[in-house]
Each structure stands twice: as C-alpha cells, then as structure tokens.
Structure 1
C-alpha cells in the first residue's frame, strides 16, 4: 500500500537520441505492491517528444496537463489535459509536446514494459 505525491518521487531524465526533453517518475510498481504493472508520469518540455516506436505490450495514458499530439499508426491525434488513450501492443506511436507548457501524462504498462 502507498499514499504519496508525485512531488516526492525522484525523476529520471530519459537519455536516448530519439527522445527530446523527457522526464519520468515511477509512481507505483511491484515494489509498492502492484504486481504485474507500473504507473509512471512523464513530463515533456516545450518541443519535447518520446521516440516514435513500437513494443509488444499495450499501455494506457491520461494527460494531466499541457497539449500536444499522439502519433498513432500514421495518424496525429491532438491531446490536452483530460485526454486519454489506449495504445495497443505493436502499434507505432509517439507523444509530442506542441504547447508552451510542460506536457504531463500518466502511462500505465505491464511490468515487462517498464525499463
């Protein structure tokens, strides 16, 4: 069991040449008792993005703040605070910040999807 706040979680800068200005915080994982899943918060700075990629697991996303684009299988979908998305396994996707403020979103993946 855990009750905390994201401000109490240490952030990790994503160092990857295909990523720009991205931070991740792991909020809940098997370490906190949620077997099989991991809930993370990502923050993309102005102009920041995740890599355009695929992987063999799905994920669920909820946009906390900011605005941007979710590229999903060749289509760009506008996202903003309150938007949510299910990205199926094996689908090409990328999150991009298109606003002036940080794009912040929750990403929940199966345990094998967290690196």
Structure 2
C-alpha cells in the first residue's frame, strides 16, 4: 500500500502557462492499471482542445472552470465529476481563482512520461 499527501508531490510544468501537474500514482510506484494526476490551473489559464485514444475520469476538487469538446461547453465547479471517452476532443479553462482537479487515466505507455515507468 502507498499512502501520501498531494502537497508533498512536486508540481511539474505542463507546457501550458499557469497549469501544473502532480503525478500522484503511476506505474513506477506499482500501479499497473491507472495513473492519478492532480492539476492546478490558475485563473484564465487554458489547456487547448486535444484528444487521445484513452479515457479520462475527472473530479473537480476546487474552483470553477469550463470543459469543452469544441461543440458544447460545461461549466464545472468543486464536487463535479466527468468522464471523457477515448478520442473525444476536450479542453479546459479556469474561470475561478484556480481550477483544481484529479484526473485518472489508464496506465498506457503513450499516456505517461517515460520516467514514471
């Protein structure tokens, strides 16, 4: 069993201004099926619309934002959850002071950085 606190996991740059990620659970720690990540997006920051061949399960921990698939927008807030199917376009924008969310993805080589394996 692994027990930790997200505050003790270093924040890493995502390549998007105002957006950080903390890799909480991943294969190198023993997770064979899923990876869990914690994102923090500062107000006004965005992750542009993109898509992958894997699903995402997301839980909004803090703040408010907009999740879009390019056709419709969903305003989300703390306590909301969502499922993004494989290959569905998706993008994020923080509208509150911050938007913080957990994102769970399958443990696939193409989805997780090499150093996490």
Report the equivalent of 1:105. 101
1:42 is matched with which residue?
39
State the TM-score, normalized to the length of structure 1: 0.91
2:93 maps to what in 1?
96
2:49 and 2:38 map into 1 onto residues whose CA distance is 18
Equivalent position to 1:114, from 93, 112, 115:
112
Instruction: Report the Cα distance in structure 2 between the residues aligned to 1:49 and 1:2, rounded to whole angstroms.
Output: 32
Q: Distance in 1 between matches of 2:86 and 2:69?
A: 12
5+ residue gaps, structure 1? none
Matched position secondary structure for 2:43: strand
Matched, 1:69 2:87: no
Task: List per-residue Cα deviations over 1:80-101 (Å, max 9, x = no partner).
Answer: 00000000001110111011x2
| 4+ aligned runs moved over 3 Å, structure 1 | none
The number of equivalent residue pairs is 111
Q: Please give the TM-score of this superposition, normalised by the length of structure 2.
A: 0.89
